[in-house]
Structure 1
Amino acid sequence: KSNLILRYGTEEILLTFKESELLEFFIRHKGKLLTREQILESLWGGNDYFAGRSLDVYISKLRKYLSRDPAVKIENRHGIGFIFKA
């Protein structure tokens, strides 16, 4: 796998490996409710406190990058997980 590049016009944002991995996971499951546990097990190999905090940080970063396109968003379902919409 390699790092993804997001392009907005002439601007390019190089994603880290983990950001790329998370965005690819969301894209593969577009429109589906993904629990935190599913994401953590798939990408971090477990669901502990530190992995959970890392997930929150990476989702925050992706939301910031994706905010330039109002049609693309990562929605939160409180206490359950996330839905990627595009």
Structure 2
Amino acid sequence: MVQHRNGVVDRRTCLRRLWGDDNFFTARTMDVYVSRLRKHLRQDASLHILNIRGVGFKLIE
């Protein structure tokens, strides 16, 4: 997401880049990790991760 700031990254791409395979990990797994990232990003008010329904995520700067 950092490499594609202000652009949408689909869930499947995130899963493949993080774990190399998207068969074992589900979209829900990705949601949990994004939720954890959001907790860390709360310290920086200029960064936000948006869910783009049916597509993926978008890092807003």
TM-score class, shorter: 0.7 to 0.9
Deviation track 1:4-58 (CA, whole Å, cap 9, x = no partner) reads: xxxxxxxxxxxxxxxxxxxxxx21111111000111111112223x512332211
Instruction: Say how many residue pairs are matched.
Output: 60
Q: Which moved more, 1:50-59 or 1:63-72?
A: 50-59
The amino acid across from 2:25 in the alignment is: A
Identity of paired residues, percent? 37
- RMSD (CA atoms): 1.4
- In structure 1, runs of 5+ residues without a counterpart are 1-25
Alignment-mate amino acid for residue 51 of structure 1: F
Of the three residues 39, 46, 51, the one matched with 2:25 is: 51
After the TM superposition, which parts of structure 1 deviate over 6 Å for at least 4 consecutive aligned residues?
none
Compute the TM-score of the two structures, normalised by the length of structure 2: 0.81
Which of structures 1 and 2 has the bigger CA Rg?
1
Written as runs of structure 1 = structure 2, the 5 A alignment for 1:69-84 is 69-84=44-59
**What TM-score, normalized to structure 1?**
0.61
**Higher RCO (C-alpha 8 Å, min separation 6):** 2
